[in-house]
């Protein structure tokens, strides 16, 4: 009898906890959820989406206390490829906004070019695009009014290099941000690449976080990313060393590898290039092993 009563209250308590959890949080990101392949999802889309989920879940598990907006954005993209219910796609996109509205707006404006990306209607897409464009434009004005003295306050960064990186960053995006105008942007890209070569010859290393701070650690990589394949291959080991030395985050390295492999072989390793197929599993494993990327 006592055992039956104990079991009853145990079940009641468990049910109560579940109810509290459900009421307190209607939705949460499951980092073990891999949807089954639906009939209207191609094998290539299914493979790409699962790869995005694997990479994102692995990143979250590495530091579960620091789920960032990009994790939710990536999951939303994967869910859309897998034709998951639209409400789950939008919940992930909303979580991305909650984490970092400004960064989500920037990525949306730069990467999402059609309603199909998130299974949106044209009206929903236009509404979101308008909202994010407004946020993006405000942030762009802040960047344009960058205060170098404030940035350098209390830091030991090289002022001359910070000024150079600030200008290189602006020039790289001048005719690329809203609409790419190659006849105007290409001459600027070539000039930027010449400056990067000069800086590398002078300092013999990647100009990154330790020299110009986190805000500009990406700039040298960005110029390389937009260069020809010869320059990309030349600087790939230098970018790799910068990542190993914590002078640059790992994501730019992945994107550079993808850009090179896309150009050379017609496939990519990490899924950062839109419209490019993933390499075979063994190739992906070999590249990850070579560059010490999980």
What's the burial of 20, exposed, middle or buried (CB within 10 Å: 0-12/13-18/19+)?
exposed
Greater confidence (6 vs 289) lies with 289
Question: Which of 45, 270, 272 minimizes the C-alpha distance to 283?
Answer: 270
Residue among 284, 285, 282 at smallest CA distance from 268: 284
Domain range annotation of the chain: 2-139, 148-290
**pLDDT for 198-208, tens place per residue?**
999 889 999 99
Q: Provide DSSP, 158-220.
A: -HHHHHHHHHHHHHHHTTTSSS--HHHHHHHHHHHHHHHHHHHHHHSS---HHHH-GGGTTHH
pTM: 0.68
Instruction: Band the pLDDT of 25: cuts 50, 70, 90.
Output: very low
- Digit-coded pLDDT (tens) for 118-148: 999 999 999 999 999 988 887 766 666 678 8
101: which strand partners? none
Of 143-152, 224-233, 254-263, give the lowest mean pLDDT range.
143-152
Longest dimension (CA), the chain: 86
């Amino acid at each position: 009898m006592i055992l039956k009563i104990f079991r009853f209250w145990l079940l009641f308590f468990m049910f109560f906890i579940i109810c509290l959890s459900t009421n307190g949080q209607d939705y949460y990101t499951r980092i073990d959820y891999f949807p089954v392949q639906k009939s209207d999802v191609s094998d290539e889309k299914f493979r790409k989406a699962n790869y995005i989920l694997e990479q994102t879940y692995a990143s979250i598990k590495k530091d579960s206390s620091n789920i960032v907006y990009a994790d939710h954005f990536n999951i939303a993209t994967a869910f859309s490829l897998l034709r998951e219910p639209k409400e789950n796609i939008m919940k992930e996109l909303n979580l991305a906004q909650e984490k970092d509205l400004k960064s989500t707006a920037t990525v949306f404006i730069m990467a999402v070019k059609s309603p199909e990306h998130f299974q949106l209607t044209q009206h929903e897409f236009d509404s979101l695009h308008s909202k994010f464009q407004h946020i993006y434009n405000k942030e762009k004005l802040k960047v344009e009014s960058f205060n170098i003295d404030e940035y350098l306050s209390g830091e030991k960064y090289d002022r001359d290099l910070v000024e150079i990186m600030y200008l290189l960053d602006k020039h790289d995006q001048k005719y690329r941000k809203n609409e790419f105008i190659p006849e105007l942007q290409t001459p600027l890209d070539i000039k930027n690449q010449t400056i990067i070569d000069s800086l590398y010859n002078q300092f013999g290393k990647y100009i990154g976080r330790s020299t110009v701070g986190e805000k500009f650690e990406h700039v040298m990589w960005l110029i390389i990313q937009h260069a020809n394949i010869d320059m990309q291959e030349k600087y790939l080991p230098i970018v790799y060393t910068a990542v190993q030395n914590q002078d640059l985050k790992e994501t730019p390295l992945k994107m550079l590898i993808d850009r090179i492999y896309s150009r050379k072989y017609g496939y990519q390793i990490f899924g950062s290039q839109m419209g490019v197929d993933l390499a075979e599993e063994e190739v992906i494993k070999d590249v990850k092993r070579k560059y010490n990327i999980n």
